[in-house]
Structure 1
Amino acid sequence: MAVIIVQASRLSLNDIHQTWLHLEHNLVYVVVLSAFGLVGSTVYFITRKRSVYLVDYACYLPPSKLKVEHDRFMKHCKLMGCFDETSLVFLDKILGRSGLGEETCAPEAMHCLPPKPSMEAARQETEQVMFGALDTLFANTNVKPKDVGILVVNCSLFNPTPSLSSMIINKYKMRGNIKSFNLGGMGCSASVISVDLAKDMLQVHRNNYAIVVSTENITQNWYFGNNKAMLLPNCLFRIGGAAVLLSNKSVDRRRSKYKLLHVVRTHCGADNKAFNCVRQEQDDIGKTGVSLSKDLMTIAVANKLINAKIKPYIPDFKLAFEHFCIHAGGRAVIDELKKNLHLLPVHVEASRMTLHRFGNTSSSSIWYELAYMEVKGRMRKGDRVWQIAFGSGFKCNSAVWLALKNVKPSCNSPWEGCIHRYPVQLSL
């Protein structure tokens, strides 16, 4: 201040006036630039893409009383009296080649003779699976149901009223302003779709938890006819479900297992052959079932879309991902993906073992596979895992997760008590 006063005493009034105007002019610029900076920073922090963390997840483990060994499965099918001899031979052949083990489970209604595929039995199966997975998830994470602001449920073939999401809200007395969604008819890749929807919701609703519940219902979707294309699901699909807790809270990063990096969804429904390759319909005598086209795997890997004379370029995906969770849709699905993606046996081990132990659990299979890798101690900090799933429509959806730490298995993992037997040797 003293220096300024001395300098000012040497200036004329005109000089002082010019200096003041100069400072005033610069001050306007400073204020304007500061305002723009403040507004820009505010807009950035409001609109920036928020990280989505996978805090934890839980897979449903069916009780041992629901196991269906191969011999028991075939004996039961014969006693039903609805399958002809040709169909029984076909079922036995497919089951032997399916890659399913002796411990997969079917719903209680299908253990009855005759089976009881009632609406009430279907509700009981779904409640048993969803609530079983959610009870484990809430216990492992110490998150209260009322803390959850977003709920996404997917189940392709069973969509009662009230919806499955409403059943969960009623069971756990969730808050009234929860954003709930119920996805139906979206096939085995619907869990990735649900994650994508939850991710988008978490970009809008700050400081929030989202739960994704993925399951399928067997009770009302067993096929009692003799169309071979519709008999395949009887051999492959089994009970299963998963509940996943996602968060956009920065404080949850430390305790979360993974961070979501990418979700890619591809829909081929504009093509008629792709659209019809997995279809729920009635056969010639009015029996309802899900038909799996013989072109299913061709469509899944798109061989016919490529000129046979031109060898397609296949990137080395092993350089981008340390782990692969390929939907356990069936042995042929896993074999074809392993071949086309140039993967090693270890990369499809989790998929094969999940199919062997739990069968095709539809959209939840990719979570049983992730749990397998964790129990085996293979998920290290910085590892990237690629979940790939296919579904009716026809859709191919995938998600990429980054391990935030050396991931340990959660309590009550579905592999507890049996992981010491895996991997098992499968016959070719």
Structure 2
Amino acid sequence: MDLLTAILLLFTASVSFAFAKLLFRRGQTCYMLDYECYKGKKEMKLNTQECAKIVSRNKNLRIEDYRFLLQTIVNSGLGEETFGPENIILGEEEHPKHVDSLSEIESVFYDTLDNIFSRSKISPSQVDILVVNVSLLSAVPSLTSRIINHYKMREDVKAFNLSGMGCSASLVAIDLVQHLFKTHKKKLAVVVSSESMAGNWYCGRERSMMLSNCIFRVGGCSMLLTNDRARKSEAILKLTCLVRTHFGSNDDAYNCCMQVEDDEGYGGFRLTKLLTKSAARSLSKNLQVLLPKVLPLWEIIRFAARKSNQTSSTINLKTGIEHFCIHPGGRAVIDEVGASLGLDEHDLEPARMALHRFGNTSAGGLWYVLGYMEAKKRLKKGDRILMISLGAGFKCNNCVWEVARDMDGPNVWKDVIGNYPPKKMVNPFLEKYGWINDEVVGFIRPEDIAKMLGFAIGR
């Protein structure tokens, strides 16, 4: 009888604990109701011809710099239909105006938010929390204030403006919303993630700073989130886990991605060779915390056992995750993450295609990858998606979403998804301007190159 009583007490305690935990977490639920990625206008496309035109205008470059840019562009993984800032395309990169940056950002904000409010039937006045992250633009009034004024939101809306958080800022914003949801019940939150390119084009010749011109492009995303369980049937995703890792105390990691001025006074964004090492270290540290929360116990035990026996082993992420949404920061970043996690080309395809079609759109990049998966009808109810974001600081912010219902809605990929993945990833820049690598043209001046390309410097 005593043994039976003990078992019953243990069972009762376990059930009570599980029930209490469920009640405690009810208000902590974070659902995504909708998201919308930005697609630039036709005149904003940065194809091969436009890229060559912009490069040829830089009077500071020498022949070796052109060769470096050619190699970088060819190996970047970007295609012919990415979008650039209008003021850069119009030739105003040396003297950007504040209004150019505001115009660029507001186009992303209002285009994506208009679509979300229209599709969801939710009025801007119903929004309780607004978080905006744009790293390279700090305006007065703030960017959140501009959105609040534009949509005439309520006076008590809780607004947060994040800057300087880099490419992984989107998940920082979602983490902030998730924490607010713990103490504010039945709320609606909007997160807007973008980056300002119009005022941050680099016009110097320091190679670690020239890289940003080759890979960063205009883009962004707005998201609608809630913790109101009455809206559960409307949700497309449910956040199950989010882990943030920061290596700002390490000098190498801190300095590998930084907004600076070069020795000539030209401002830009410096990316050093230590970036990949910092990314690998922060990703490893992050996954040590995140994976035990999402992978089955037996896989953790198997991996630990083989590791303790000094047997070569890689943890099998696919025992607990079906899809991998990797920040499309560059081809090398995607390759490194894929190799370190044991992912195949099917897993990496969404990130590669997002990079090819839209470029590195900084904090907005993850959502173009998600959009690709949805457009390809890969996301089924119950599937789990691991989002991996890396950014300046150095930061690694990762999370896992559970698909709440089959996702197959129209999105930013709807007009082109049939062309992806392309049969051949050929960079036309190499085909048109590959002659610049020939040693025989080493004596040619930049202005001569501009004429050969068909453009006049300063035009």
Does the 8 Å contact 1:318/1:343 carry over to 2?
no
Q: Distance in 2 between matches of 1:260 and 1:169?
A: 26
Q: Counterpart of 1:60? A: 38
Normalising by structure 1, report the TM-score: 0.86
Q: CA deviation at 1:319?
A: 1.6
Q: Which runs of 5+ in 1 are unaligned?
A: 1-40
- Per-residue CA distance 1:53-80 (angstroms, 9 max, x = gap): 1001000111111101123202221124
Shift of 1:245: 0.3
Instruction: Tell me the number of residue pairs that the alignment of Structure 1 and Structure 2 aligns.
Output: 383
Aligned to 2:88: 110
Letter in 1 for 2:325: C
Match of 1:162 among 138, 141, 145: 141
Partner of 1:24: none
1:6-405 equivalences in 2 (<5 Å): 49-115=27-93, 116-302=95-281, 314-405=314-405
Q: Retained in 2: the 8 A contact 1:55–1:256?
A: yes
Structure 2 residue matching 1:390: 3-state secondary structure: strand
Task: Name the TM-score, length of structure 2 as normaliser.
Answer: 0.80
CA contact (8 A) 2:256 2:274 kept: yes
Q: 1: CA distance between counterparts of 2:120 and 2:35?
A: 9
More moved, 294-303 vs 134-143: 294-303
User: What's the C-alpha RMSD, in Å, of the aligned pairs?
Assistant: 2.2
Determine the structure 2 residue equivalent to 1:28.
none
- Tell me: higher relative CO, structure 1 or 2? Use CA pairs within 8 A at least 6 residues apart: 2
SS in 1 for 2:182: helix
Write the distance in 2 (CA, Å) between the matches of 1:211 and 1:304. Answer: 27
Provide the secondary structure at the position in 1 that maps to 2:370.
helix
What do residues 291-331 of structure 1 show as CA deviations (whole Å, max 9, x unaligned)?
0011111221129999xxx8885421122210011000000
Contact 2:202 2:210 in 1 (8 A): yes
Task: Sort the Cα spacing of 1:286 and 1:209 in 2 relative to 1 into closer, same or farther, 3 A.
Answer: same
Aligned residue in 2 for 1:409: 409
Distance across 1 between alignment mates of 2:188 and 2:311: 46
- The C-alpha deviation readout for 1:124-177, integer Å capped at 9, x for no partner, is 000001111111111111110010000011011111111111111111111000
CA shift in 2, pair 1:363/1:352, >3 Å: same
Q: Deviation string for 1:261-311 (max 9, x for gaps)?
A: 0111000111111111101111111111110011111221129999xxx88
1:278–1:328: structure 2 CA closer, same or farther, 3 Å change rule? Answer: same
Unaligned runs of 5+ in 2: 1-18, 286-309, 428-459
Over residues 315-366 of structure 1, what are the superposed CA-to-partner deviations in whole Å (9 max), with x where a residue is unaligned?
A: 2112221001100000000000010000010111110000000000001111
Percent identity over paired residues: 40
- Tell me the SS of whatever aligns to 2:81: coil
- Counterpart contact for 2:27–2:181, Cα < 8 Å: no
Distance 1:167 1:85 in 2: 44
> 1: distance between equivalents of 2:380 and 2:269?
39
